[in-house]
């Protein structure tokens, strides 16, 4: 969730201010849940663009307490 917060707060400020900068994000997927979230973000970026992906990340950040990520013990299978 710290990574999502970094993206939503820091990078979104560049986008809102229309700063002409190019940057890349490399997902570190240590669990299957992280891999699935990375796939969702890449699909949203490719199909609908950056505003939709940022909106999705904002909703994930805001609803993180409602939908906790699975524990590592559950993602081994």
Q: Which of 56, 65, 48 is nearest to 8 (CA)?
A: 56
Residue at 16 is within a domain: no
Query: Would 58 be classed as within a structural domain?
Result: yes
Q: Which domain holds residue 38?
A: 1-9+28-68
pLDDT in tens, 51-66: 898 889 888 877 765 4
Q: What is the rounded distance in angstroms from the CA atom of residue 45 to the CA atom of residue 48?
A: 6
For the chain, how many structural domains are there in total? Answer: 1
- 15 within a domain of the structure (yes/no): no
Is 1 part of any domain?
Answer: yes
pLDDT, one tens digit per residue, over 15-50 is 888 888 887 778 777 888 888 888 998 999 999 998
pTM attached to this predicted model: 0.63
């Amino acid at each position: 969730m710290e990574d999502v917060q970094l993206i939503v707060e820091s990078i979104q400020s560049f986008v809102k201010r229309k700063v002409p900068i190019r940057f890349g994000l490399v997902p570190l997927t240590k669990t299957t849940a992280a891999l699935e979230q990375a796939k969702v973000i890449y699909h949203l970026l490719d199909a609908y663009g950056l505003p939709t992906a940022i909106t999705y990340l904002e909703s994930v950040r805001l609803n993180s307490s409602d939908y906790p990520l699975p524990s590592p013990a559950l993602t081994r299978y």
